[in-house]
């Protein structure tokens, strides 16, 4: 299983869609709430160059937003 990190906020619809997708596919992930964790927010911006969420890091493959096809390809599913 690939290592998956998601940088999100509690009120982000697309973040919730991504997390639901991971749960549906049985993908374990680590979530970072960038609304309250300033260190992780900085890390997210360094990785993606953006403030928008979700930012999904699948073993170094960065996806900004919820793109089911791109995420599926990065996961190999």
Q: Provide the token pair at 34.
A: 């960038």
Mean pLDDT per segment of 10 residues, for the chain of length 77 residues? 95 98 97 98 96 96 96 95
Rounded CA separation 66/75 (Å): 14
For residue 64, give every residue at least 6 positions away whose Cβ sits within 8 Å of its Cβ, in sequence order, or none: 48, 50, 52, 54, 55, 56
How many structural domains are present in the chain?
1
What pLDDT is attached to residue 27?
97
CB 75 within 8 A of CB 27: yes
Secondary element (H or E) of residue 20: helix 13-25
The domain in which residue 60 lies consists of: 4-75
What pLDDT is attached to residue 1?
81
What pLDDT is attached to residue 20?
98
Output the domain CATH number for residue 62.
3.40.30.10
């Amino acid at each position: 299983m690939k290592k998956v990190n998601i940088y999100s906020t509690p009120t982000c619809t697309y973040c919730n869609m991504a997390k639901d997708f991971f749960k549906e596919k049985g993908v374990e992930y680590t979530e970072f709430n960038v609304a309250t964790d300033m260190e992780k927010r900085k890390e997210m911006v360094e990785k993606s160059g953006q403030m928008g969420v979700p930012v999904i890091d699948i073993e170094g493959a960065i996806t900004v937003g919820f793109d089911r096809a791109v995420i599926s390809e990065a996961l190999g599913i």
